[in-house]
Amino acid sequence: MPSQRKKGRAVTRSDRHEHTPARYGRTFAIGVTLNVGFVIIEAFYGWHTQSLALLADAGHNLSDVAGLLLAWAAVGAARLRPNVRHTYGWRRGSILASFANAIILLLAMGSLGWEAIQRLQTPADIEANTVMVVAGIGVLINAATAALFMAGSKTDLNIRGAFLHMAADALVSVGVVISGALYLWQGWTWIDPVVSLVIAVVIVIGTWSLFYRSLHLLFDGVPESIDLNAVRDCLLALPDVADLHDLHVWAMATNENALTAHLVLKGGTVQTRGLLEQARENLHELFEIRHVTLQVETADQAVLCPAMHCS
């Protein structure tokens, strides 16, 4: 196959099947270990100091451990080879993990908001110095873990789910530090639940995109990074292609997209091998679509396509 130039190097057939980097296995292991240890510390001191913010954050951190494990399992599932029962393998597990992580985050923030409202009705004193120290440790741990996932979050929705979990935890911990400082400064017993409530709202707003995008992909929606009209124009611009129909683009995983289409050829004899190779290279280079299935047919054959399936 002819190679193509991309980012200063040749892109070959092997490049088209590079998926989630293996290094994320170690990243998930580090993230899970750090957060399990911190949950234990935070829960103990939250109970000892009667801080709702610390206890709520410990519960949220525990849900994030579950979220990390879920995302980690999805990365592992994506590496399982296809078989006669699962011809695409288990790649879609990453989309399911993204959706589940969004649900976990939304439920955790709903619980945090409810507890904050309850505490507003019965404010309580807290040991602010201890709370601030423990929360400060949480900021460092969660921010460091989020940084490990930052690069991958830009291209992989499953990794983005893990990143949002850790970034949300870091934000909650920052809020706990602020509420402790304000309590020491003004003695406001209501500041702890108010800050928790504000942070819950901020995180819900930030999580909504993950929820919507993963739900969209679960129902085979066109990935938001792909313009379907641009894909259509790309295929129609190929030599000897007169028309196309049954164009479908969907996500096989959070970092892999697939395409199927019927290409209607112009009259005369056409060397389809070169045409298909060019189509695949263009789709990979312009849209990062790695899995392409194209059927070529004449205008007479295209007429036979059932109307309900044509597009």
Q: Which CATH number among 2.60.40.10, 3.20.20.80, 3.30.70.1350, 3.60.20.10 corresponds to the domain 228-309?
A: 3.30.70.1350
Residues composing the chain: 311
Helices (H), 50-127: 52-78, 93-121
Q: Quick one: pLDDT at residue 173? A: 81
- Helix and strand counts by DSSP (H, E) for the chain: 9, 5
Q: Which residues contact 308 (CB under 8 A, 6 or more apart)?
A: none
CATH number of this structure's domain 22-218: 1.20.1510.10
Q: Quick one: pLDDT at residue 308? A: 40
Q: What angle do CA 164, 169, 151 make, to 5 degrees?
A: 35
Handedness of CA 207, 212, 215, 221 (dihedral sign): negative
Give CA–CA dist 132/151, Å, rounded: 30
Express each pLDDT in 125-166 by its tens digit: 777 788 788 888 888 988 988 888 887 777 788 888 888 878
The count of C-alpha atoms lying within 13 angstroms of the C-alpha of 4, restricted to the half-sphere facing its C-beta, is 15
Q: Quick one: pLDDT at residue 42? A: 78
Domain range list for the chain: 22-218, 228-309
Q: What are phi and psi of 103, to 5 degrees?
A: -65, -45
DSSP state for residue 49 in the 8-state scheme: H
The count of C-alpha atoms lying within 13 angstroms of the C-alpha of 56, restricted to the half-sphere facing its C-beta, is 31
Joined tokens for residue 218: 């679960």
Residuewise pLDDT in 10s, the chain (311 residues): 343 444 433 333 334 344 444 467 788 888 888 888 888 887 888 787 776 666 766 776 777 788 788 888 887 777 788 888 887 888 888 888 889 888 888 888 888 788 788 888 877 777 778 878 888 888 898 898 888 888 777 778 888 888 887 888 788 788 888 888 888 888 887 887 887 788 788 778 878 888 998 999 999 999 988 999 999 999 999 988 888 999 999 998 877 899 999 998 887 666 777 888 999 999 999 998 989 999 888 776 666 665 444 45
Q: What are phi and psi of 146, to 5 degrees?
A: -60, -40
* pTM value surpassing 0.85: no
Q: Which amino acid is at 180?
A: G
Q: Which amino acid is at 182?
A: L
Handedness of CA 71, 76, 79, 84 (dihedral sign): negative
